[in-house]
Amino acid sequence: MARAKSHERGQALDAFIEAMPKVELHLHIEGTLEPESVFRFARRNGLSLDFDSVEALRRAYEFQNLQSFLDLYNATMGVLCTEEDFYDLTWDYLARVARQNVVHTEIFFDPQGHTCRGIPFASVVGGITRALAAGQQRFGISSRLILCFWRHLSEAEALATWEQAQPHLGCFAAVGLDSSEVGNPPEKFRRVYAKARAAGLKAVAHAGEEGGPDYIWGALDALGVERIDHGVRCLEDGQLVERLVREEIPLTVCPLSNVRLRVVKNLGSHSLSRMLALGLRVCVNSDDPAYFGGYITENFLAVRKALELVPAQVLTLGRNAIDASFLDADEKTVLHERLEAVAAEHGFGLGE
């Protein structure tokens, strides 16, 4: 009897997760490149691939660590060549997550992965921003775009990318930092981040995924970031946890990514519940969903089941994402009201 009731509660919570209006803050648009799309863009652009079928490519989406993922990620993005490719890639993501009730998304893109291949910066930004505008009109999904620097390259190359971005600064809400973490500390990019902040952009950075707590400290102190992407290794440093809680620094956690890249052994051992209990401002995101086995709803459902999350925890995750977004206060209020209305419809009240 108890098991049956637990199963029913789980089903009810899953129904709420599927229906809840969601905010996603950690999403690489190049990481939404599904194997079928890789072949579609390759055919469109007359490119050959190292894989003879969609199935063979999908089998390659098994990774030993962050670097093995990045090697494939950097190779497959080579099929993106024209503004229309970037439009279609972004539109495909928005159409998919509209069905998952995503209402706001803050999207990373990696210009250096394209300009190094001779793709004009304007083609990349033009395709993405046109799709985001169309997605707002068609699906009602609001968005912000975040320009990421590749940390395995030099700061001089990041500064060159910053100069290329100047005609398009109005398209961006923030700058970010991604790619290989270990050996590429945040301090390496102090000057380019100072330029971005002086220009009025917000700042985020990947830290505490592959690298330890010192990378999070560096992102906060050297780069002045307002949000940490990943950050799961903060738990190794009690003083850091205290600071993140005190300063209400959001952490954009990506559970399925953490498993696929072997940051954690399995979802059952993920630290998300502990992070919530400590008062950290964590939220759930999908990272590179085409490569890691699920978009935002799949991430929510997977951690709900593996960690036996209760309604209060799921609601906190949803509320945290709204609060951590770069929306203005009025927009956040509207999304909070939408979330609470759906929660009430599913029997989960404000006290949950």
- Which residues are CB-neighbours of 1 under 8 A, at least 6 positions away? none
HSE-CB of 52 using CA atoms within 13 angstroms: 0
Which of 34, 209, 210, 340 does the annotation list as catalytic? 209
**How far is C-alpha 36 from the geometric centre of its chain's CA atoms?**
21
202 three-state secondary structure? strand
Q: Does 270 carry a binding-site annotation? A: no
Query: Does residue 209 carry a catalytic annotation?
Result: yes
Task: Find the distance separating the first CA and the last CA of the chain, reported in whole Å.
Answer: 24
> How many residues belong to the chain?
352
Q: Does 287 carry a binding-site annotation? A: yes
Q: Does 152 carry a binding-site annotation? A: no
Of 322, 262, 254, nearest in space to 288 by CA? 254
Q: Are 180 and 70 contacting, i.e. CB atoms less than 8 angstroms apart? A: yes
Of 70, 10, 54, 80, nearest in space to 300 by CA? 10
Going edge to edge, which strands form the sheet with 174-178? 22-28, 102-109, 142-150, 174-178, 202-207, 227-230, 250-253, 281-284
Q: Does 288 carry a binding-site annotation? A: yes
292 three-state secondary structure? helix
> What whole-number distance in Å separates Cα of residue 117 and Cα of residue 110?
12
Please give the structure tokens belonging to residue 158.
């990041």
> What whole-number distance in Å separates Cα of residue 194 and Cα of residue 97?
34
Residues designated catalytic: 209
Which residue ranges are tagged as binding site for substrate?
288
Which residue ranges are tagged as binding site?
26, 28, 206, 287-288
